[in-house]
Amino acid sequence: MAPDPLSLGKLPLKIALGGLGAVGMPTAKWLDDGVAGLELVAISASDKERAKDRVSTFISPPPVLDLRDLADVADVVVECAPPECFAEIAESALARGRIFMPLSVTSLLPRPDLIDMALENGGRIIIPSGAIVGLDAVRAASYGTIHSVVMKTNKPPSSLRTAKFVVEQGIDLDILTEAECLFKGTVAEAASLFPANVNIAVALAFAGIGPDRTEYEIWADPGVDRNCHTIVVDADSTHFEISVAGVPTEETPGTGKLTPLSLMSTLEGLVTPFKVGN
């Protein structure tokens, strides 16, 4: 079993980023600027030459490695790549007992074996909150009895044009003049239809009552210019409603600007001497 670097007081923690897009690039810049207790030691991207060029102006340009090699040099491996890269990053990180931070949370649903792999090798899987809020409260409520969790998402059509369900059904979202419900069911059902668009719904489900019991709706809405989410939780300990209107990134409209900031907060939370919330 690999030792937990935190238990040994091994600082700085070495961070590797699998992906250099709307989440990976701002996180890389933040780490390069200097964060106490954290060190960017490697990145990976599908276009390695472009990645090298993008980090060439960094104070300490990190090497660009293959995805499977990130775990060789890092304590923490972040997955912020397209979903098809998930398995290679996850398996290599957890086989070596690393801390694995996935952003493609939906890809965890069919891979419960990764939790066993983490347990066997002394690794950890830590999911950042991403573009959603309130996961602390949902997780706390789950220690009692949660009766229901319902989430509704309204996104600009541009955020959903490349969704698997939209493409396969040949839906022309550009002609919409009012909001249209694309899906209503459980998070588990939505995950196979919108694998790159429901990561925060899956994170909510993991925090609470699971993907088979968490209810979900997704709407293409030409009346909004933000990724809007409403969550209603009813439990024996509490009842609350959360509304989030996340600003989309210019590079990837389906990804909110809060997502890389959430990753930064989660990474710093590994080493900070003062932390609020989980």
CA–CA dist 89, 102 (Å, integer):
9
* The one catalytic residue among 17, 75, 229, 262: 229
Q: Which residues contact 33 (CB under 8 A, 6 or more apart)?
A: 59
Burial state string for 123-152 with b = 16 or more CB within 10 A and e = fewer than 16: bbbebbbbbbbbbebbeebbeeebeebebb
Encoded tokens for 170: 């040949």
Confirm if 22 and 260 have CB atoms less than 8 A apart.
Answer: yes
Angle ∠(63,68,74) on CA atoms, nearest 5: 55
Cα–Cα nearest to 46, from 93, 83, 99? 83
CA–CA dist 29, 41 (Å, integer):
12
Confirm if 94 and 113 have CB atoms less than 8 A apart.
Answer: no
Encoded tokens for 59: 């104070």
The yes-or-no answer on residue 147 being catalytic is no
Q: Measured between alpha carbons, how far is residue 153 from residues 123, 194, 218, 235 in Å?
A: 33, 12, 5, 21
| Run of H or E residues at 9 | none
**CB atoms near residue 228 (< 10 Å):** 18
| Residues classed as catalytic | 229
